[in-house]
Amino acid sequence: MKYLYSILIIPTLFLAHTVYAQSGKVQGTVKDANGEVLPGATILVEDSGMGTSSDASGNFEITLKPGQYQLTCTMVGFESINVNATVTEGQVTTVEFPLTESKNVLQQVEIIGRKERSYKNTSSFIGSKTELNSKDLPQSVSFVTKELISDQGQMRVGEVVKNMSGVNQFTFYDDITIRGFRINGQSNTQLINGLRTSTGFWKQPLANYLERVEVMKGPSSALFGNASPGGVLNRVTKKPLDFNRKSLDFSFGSFNTFRALADFTGPMNADRTLLYRLNIGYEDANSFRDLQFDKNLVIAPSVSFLPTDKTRLNFDIIYNQSNSRLDRGQAANNNDLYSTPITRSLSSANDYLNENTYNISASLNHYFTEKLSVTLAYLKTGYNEDLLEHRSANGYAVDGDSALIEDKVAMQVFQRKRRRYIDNVSMFFNYAATTGALEHKLLVGYDYSQDQVPAGGSQLTASGYRNAANTGFIATYNPKKKSNYLLDANGNPVPNAAHFNLADPIGSQLLKDVSKYFFTPRSFDPTFYELHGIYAQDLIKLGKFQALLGFRYEKYVDKENYLKPTEKKVRQEAFLPRVGLVYELLPQINLYGTYVEGYNPQTASSISNPNAGGPFDPLMSNMIEAGAKSEWFNKQLAVTVGVYRIIQKNTLYNASDANNPDLLRQVGEEKSQGIEFDIVGHILPHWSILTTYSHNKAVITESPVAEEIDRQKPNAPANTASIWTRYSIPHGQLAGLGFGLGSNFVDKRILSINANQTAPSYVLVDAALYYTVNKVRVQFNFNNIFDKTHWVGGYDYLRIFPGKPRNFLVTLGYTF
């Protein structure tokens, strides 16, 4: 057999040597002007029909017969470049392609995937609805890229906002504050790829399908319609790349966590006019909190079609199926946060929260000429909720004399089903023009958005105390009318749903027979509202000066008593200006200033709670901001500092009405002012860093309640800071080994303007270890390594949300 093997292999080797001897090779690396490698660039050999593309490391190689050749390198977003190469028989010729960015704006929407592999994000679409260097935007924007998300081993959007100045969690739901102003998943002030969306609020959106998370600070109504004055959060999804890359990640860790993630992308045809990307995520995890768990399945396909260099079309779907329990936070007794463990949950074993969410979007970008283009985009969001929960009734149990029993929490039970649908259409034109010495980038657009809660949404509620006949319940207990209530042997009123005994948590968390409760039904009235927005802006450049001038006219239509005989339309209108200035002080430093206004109606549709009261005046806000943006180390490190003042009128707060816990009231005016500082990018090619600091004074300045004036707003820390850095060893025997280290500081926070209860400040320290060999990556993340007890936010000491104790995550990744 060995002789037969020799007979076969020797001619094969000889033939291979002969072929190579009759040809040569051209190899090289494609990089941008900053020295960053560029994967997916096309290298064509003129007049030969041959070509190749750069791999994930920016390298390429092609075999040619001896002779003189001209090689052309092209890539979307960069100027083409030609290089002459001489191919010698049996030799390797090395060439380099230093590509420079195209001067023309090539995208109005993100259709081609981002190819940067850094914590730094060079271009932004959120601030001007067109591709713009972040340094040229006269407003503060914070980014968290997928590279940072991966390095920190994060899975949820709420977990990554700690890396943004002025942004922190309000609760551990999809619920955050930006510069002291609250936004959440149900407030319709969040975006996906620049279009309005909503979540179920109870769970933070997953991040495995995201290219980055970005927050534009300050009112953004002039671009996107009604929004929070603190800022708007935008989730940018991963888009297809024009080169093949596939990755698999498997993770396990604390709290019985298991994750499996897949990310596949590449061309679907030979000329790379049809590209795809598919992200799949599966998670099965428990929690440090009693009875809590999360099971998630995310499927996110994306397809890009580029029939010509003037037309681009993208189609995306994000589908998330989530099964979990709803966690209402930790309940403490005796007004002492440390009286109960942070693991204590008030849920029961048969509680559940099943959610299905989908986002379907399509976008088209077409160039009529080099100067004129149009963008069309559509997004539909659907949400379905099925819930059973045992939760606190926001108070302690009472005895027969109505005295509080502070080791027992009064309970209520909700069983709920509801749906929600949001549609967005956006169309805008971009036109580049020159008038004398002025360069213009004009934008004119129209937005339409509608939000609908269909009929059928309803809830069963069991709360309060049993009536004397034990045939129903009374919402509140009145000791002066004891005869109306069912009393136990000690003369205490019998609750409809058993109190949660903080001294016997295991007994209180057992399966409950919900058929024994007395329920009352409550409907979620169907709602419908729509927005029409017309806007225009002009980005004017004159030498070192740039001005961003814009306005938006918005018409808001709410169908009050929707689908009822008394249905009527309530109309509101707003005119919102925006002015921004940028001056290039030095080639690497830009100074900026901006003024913007915000508007947000507060009607039955936007509040979605018939017990909230009203009608309420609209939210009206404005912001003045100034600062500097700069780039260092050959544009690899970005530094931003900004100061701001935001004023908002007519904010809603809970009225703390014992007879109606859903009742809201308005305060006159709030003011938020402070300073923010961000550093992000590379110090050295293998040393990445992100650090932030924010000082924010967010207070109520006008209120009918005198005690509230000058009080810091709920869950708005006066100071926050963060740092994360990673270093990878590039050469030597330890090549492939990397280290990560980070820390977060959050100042103490008041929880409610109605109660003098605070969450203490905290400092957390995280670390990571990485090792990459060939295509395999092993990653260890160690979070809260000093096991600091802390709380990320909350409403009061009966509903406060603890952060995770010490935990770890191990990830095994394979890229091919």
496, 500, 499: which is closest to 473 by C-alpha? 496
Range list of β-strands (E), 188-254: 190-192, 195-197, 210-217, 231-237, 245-253
385: how many CB neighbours lie within 10 A of its CB? 20
Q: What is residue 35's predicted lDDT score, i.e. its pLDDT?
A: 74
Every domain range in the chain assigned CATH 2.40.170.20: 235-460+521-815
DSSP β-bridge partners for residue 358: 319, 382
Summarize pLDDT for 314-325 with one digit per residue, the tens.
Answer: 999 999 999 999
Q: Which two tokens stand for residue 207?
A: 């991040």
Task: Please give the Cα distance from 428 to 534 (Å, whole number).
Answer: 10
Task: Give all strands of the β-sheet with 92-99 in edge-to-edge order.
Answer: 59-64, 24-32, 92-99
Q: What is residue 17's predicted lDDT score, i.e. its pLDDT?
A: 43
Q: What is residue 14's predicted lDDT score, i.e. its pLDDT?
A: 41
Q: What is residue 147's predicted lDDT score, i.e. its pLDDT?
A: 94
192, 197, 231, 229: which is closest to 213 by C-alpha? 192
Task: Please give the Cα distance from 810 to 808 (Å, whole number).
Answer: 7
Every domain range in the chain assigned CATH 2.60.40.1120: 2-99
Q: What is residue 16's predicted lDDT score, i.e. its pLDDT?
A: 41
Q: What is residue 108's predicted lDDT score, i.e. its pLDDT?
A: 54
Task: Please give the Cα distance from 250 to 475 (Å, whole number).
Answer: 49
Q: What is residue 199's predicted lDDT score, i.e. its pLDDT?
A: 84
Q: What is residue 637's predicted lDDT score, i.e. its pLDDT?
A: 93
Report the residue count for the chain.
Answer: 816
> Rounded to whole angstroms, what are the CA distances from 408 to 157, 273, 346, 402, 795?
34, 64, 11, 13, 19
What kind of fold does domain 235-460+521-815 have according to CATH?
Answer: Maltoporin; Chain A (2.40.170)
- Report the SS3 class of residue 505: helix
Indicate the residue type of 172.
F
Superfamily of segment(s) 2-99:
Carboxypeptidase-like, regulatory domain (2.60.40.1120)
Query: Which regions in the chain score pLDDT beneath 50?
Result: 1-21, 104-106
94, 88, 130: which is closest to 109 by C-alpha? 130
Task: Please give the Cα distance from 641 to 373 (Å, whole number).
Answer: 34
DSSP β-bridge partners for residue 615: none
Q: What is residue 125's predicted lDDT score, i.e. its pLDDT?
A: 82
Q: Which two tokens stand for residue 633?
A: 């180390």
Q: What is the DSSP string of 453-482?
A: E-TT-EEEEE-SEEBTTSSSEESS--GGGG
